[in-house]
Structure 1
Amino acid sequence: MKVEDFNPQDYLPQGYYPWPDLINPNIAQMEIDMKNWIDHDYAYLPEKARSKYKKMGFHLCTARMVPKASYEQTIPCNRFVLNFVVMDDQMEFATIEEKKRDCDRAIEILKGSTPSANENGIFQHLALIRDEYKAFMPSEWLERFTVNLSRCFKYGVQEETPFKLAKRIPSLEYFMILREYSVNMYPYLYWADIETNFVLPKYIEEHPVIQRLRALTSRIEAWQNDFYSLRKELGLDTELMNLILVLQKGQNISLEEAVMEAKRIHDEDVAEFVALHENLPNFGNHQQQVYDYVTSLGTILQGLNTHYIKDTERYLDGGEGFAWPEGEQVNKYKTQDFKPG
């Protein structure tokens, strides 16, 4: 297989999954909001980066993940997509210490700390996200959201850094655990509570089947992302944390063989998810609500796949559509006096 012959849609076409493919009707206003935030609240970023972020279609990503949410509910979700992606992107070449510093600060703000006036839009938006979520979600939900964001920072963003800086791949076994967190999916899964207007009771939240379904959702999204980002990452020696590349290099097999093995892993995870969804434990009076909740997790996966296909320029060949950090953005963030746009 030649690189130019690889098309992820040949493996994951639109409608591939057995869940609804929906979009929120408030996309026009969501796009206006997104572009306004990029231009005003993230004005410290280079103009080239801001232009690329506008072409990534983040508002459409949000709209496909929370298709039933009200406009007011979409605001912190939409804001978080931009926030989390920019933070992750601009830490691309940072050290573990620098990443830990900024990740810890993000969690402090979500827990209630007030950002100073000279902290940039990433941190200012986290305070807005926190307060906007608190307006319609209970404190227990925000705590779960924050804990799972922290887990992605700790077990994903930070733990993959030594491999990225050394330009080497981990073992397949370790990678598959690491990638579940480094794809940064876990906090988004709590949007299913918003979609269904149902915050799982603690005994359901902690049930091993629910925890496994969340793990599978995160893994499936990781494998999706690895398919769609492959052409962006091929030829870039810093971009090795991709299931297909780990299989190819770690097992010394062809690109085509690695793609097919990655597809097999993906499909096995999907099959397990579907089987668990159709055979949930007895949750008593909450049975239908839990079933609908898991459907919302599937809708997130379906929506993300459609987003990759239809909405974004983020994964153009060779990283041309990616907002790589540059200049003073490498290894640190600029500060600014913040005035929300």
Structure 2
Amino acid sequence: MRPEEFNSKDYLPHGYYPWPDLISPHAEQMGKDMDGWIDNDYTFLTEEQREKYKRMKLHICTARMWPDLTYEQSIPCNRFMLQYVAFDDQVENSSLEEIQQLRDRCTAILKGDQPRPEENAIYQHMALIRDEFRALMPEIWVERFIYYFYQSVRYGIELEYPYKIAQRPPSLTLFKTIREYSVLMRPYLIFGEIESGLVLPEHIFEHIVVQKIISHMTLVIAWQNDIHSLPKEMAKGTEVFNLVFVLQQQYNLSLEDACKEAFRIHNEEMAELLTLHTEYREFGEYQEHVDKFFYYAGVGIQGVNTFYLQTERYLHGGVGFAWPEEGRTANIQANGG
């Protein structure tokens, strides 16, 4: 199989997962909101980058992953979708020290620091996200969100860094461990608690079965992302943090065989997730909370898959991606430049 023959929908078509495929009734307004933020606030990006982010229609990802949010609830979730995607994309050429500084500054803002006037939209919107979530959710949930944000950057983006610099993948075992965090989905998965209105108490959230369910869900989305983003990453030529590339490297597989194996791993992850939820039913009065958490996260898995099939973000050749520009990495660190 030649790279240009690869089509992710041959593996993960519409409706692949056992949850409904839905979209928010507020999607149109969410799109208008996001385009306004890109045009008016994300001025540290080039005009070409801003246009590409608008064409990606990231608000549709929000609308499909969490279709039952009220419009008020959708605002910080949609704002975070743009903020976190731009964060991840634009640190691609940054040094490890710059990424660490960005992580620490964003975490400090989430915990209460105010962004300085000269700091760009990455920081200004993080403060808005914090205030909007605090107005909607209890403190236990906000602390959970902050921790998952920190964790994903600290143990995801940062642990990827030496392998990206060396342009060599880690072993499959280590890759799976890091990829669970570098897919950056942990903060998003708990948005289902906003939809359901059922926030898991800490002793349930920290239960080993719930944590394992979250781990499986995160990895399902990681393998899903690696399959859908493959056309963009093949175009880059230097990407190593994709399951398909790791399998090719470790087992000397052809592209076609590596894709088949990646799909098998995805399906195995999915089967383990469903089995775990079905078999363990010992949460007593909190079983409904866990079931709702599982359902809304599942709708998110279905929804993000549909988004991947519709967005321009992962087009062949990387033409739809807002690649960071050489020499502009400092722009994400400070002003709106």
Alignment of 1:204-215 (within 5 A): 204-215=204-215
Match of 1:330 in 2: 329
Alignment of 1:122-133 (within 5 A): 122-133=122-133
Alignment of 1:95-114 (within 5 A): 95-114=95-114
- Cα deviation digits, residues 24-59 of structure 1 (max 9, x gap): 100111011000000011012100000000011111
Over 4 Å off, 4+ runs = none
1:233 aligns with 2:207: no
1:26 aligns with 2:15: no
Q: CA deviation at 1:236?
A: 2.4
Letter in 2 for 1:106: C
Match of 1:313 in 2: 312
Q: CA deviation at 1:286?
A: 2.1
Q: Residue 109 of structure 1 contacts residue 115 of structure 1 at CA under 8 Å; is this kept in 2?
A: yes
Q: Residue 44 of structure 1 contacts residue 334 of structure 1 at CA under 8 Å; is this kept in 2?
A: no
Match of 2:155 in 1: 155
- Cα deviation digits, residues 118-168 of structure 1 (max 9, x gap): 000010000000000011101110100110111111110111011111111
- Cα deviation digits, residues 70-121 of structure 1 (max 9, x gap): 0000000000000001111110011111100011101000011100000000
Alignment of 1:263-302 (within 5 A): 263-302=263-302
SS at structure 2 position matched to 1:42: coil
Letter in 2 for 1:321: G
Letter in 1 for 2:295: T
Q: CA deviation at 1:281?
A: 3.0
Match of 2:139 in 1: 139
SS at structure 2 position matched to 1:124: helix
Q: CA deviation at 1:318?
A: 2.0
Alignment of 1:67-82 (within 5 A): 67-82=67-82
Letter in 1 for 2:322: A
Mark the CA change 1:263 to 1:158 in structure 2 (over 3 Å): closer, same or farther: same
Alpha-carbon RMSD across the aligned residues, in angstroms, is 1.3
Match of 2:224 in 1: 224
Distance in 1 of aligned mates of 2:45 and 2:330: 13
Q: CA deviation at 1:171?
A: 0.8
The runs of 5 or more residues in structure 2 that have no matched partner are none
Q: CA deviation at 1:5?
A: 1.6
Mark the CA change 1:109 to 1:196 in structure 2 (over 3 Å): closer, same or farther: same
Distance in 1 of aligned mates of 2:309 and 2:12: 9
Letter in 2 for 1:193: E
SS at structure 2 position matched to 1:159: helix
Match of 2:2 in 1: 2
The TM-score with structure 2 as length reference comes to 0.97
Q: Residue 44 of structure 2 contacts residue 331 of structure 2 at CA under 8 Å; is this kept in 1?
A: no
- Cα deviation digits, residues 234-278 of structure 1 (max 9, x gap): 142321110001101221111111111111110011001111222
Match of 2:260 in 1: 260
Mark the CA change 1:45 to 1:334 in structure 2 (over 3 Å): closer, same or farther: farther
Q: Residue 122 of structure 2 contacts residue 332 of structure 2 at CA under 8 Å; is this kept in 1?
A: no
Match of 2:248 in 1: 248
- Cα deviation digits, residues 306-326 of structure 1 (max 9, x gap): 00112x111011211111111
The alignment-based identity, stated in percent, is: 50
Q: CA deviation at 1:336?
A: 3.7
Letter in 2 for 1:54: K
The runs of 5 or more residues in structure 1 that have no matched partner are none
SS at structure 2 position matched to 1:158: helix
SS at structure 2 position matched to 1:94: coil
Letter in 1 for 2:176: M
Greater shift after overlay, 56-65 or 227-236?
A: 227-236
Q: Residue 156 of structure 1 contacts residue 183 of structure 1 at CA under 8 Å; is this kept in 2?
A: yes
Alignment of 1:180-219 (within 5 A): 180-219=180-219
Letter in 2 for 1:39: D
Letter in 2 for 1:229: S
Aligned residues: 337
Greater shift after overlay, 281-290 or 165-174?
A: 281-290
Q: Residue 117 of structure 1 contacts residue 337 of structure 1 at CA under 8 Å; is this kept in 2?
A: no
Q: Residue 229 of structure 1 contacts residue 315 of structure 1 at CA under 8 Å; is this kept in 2?
A: yes
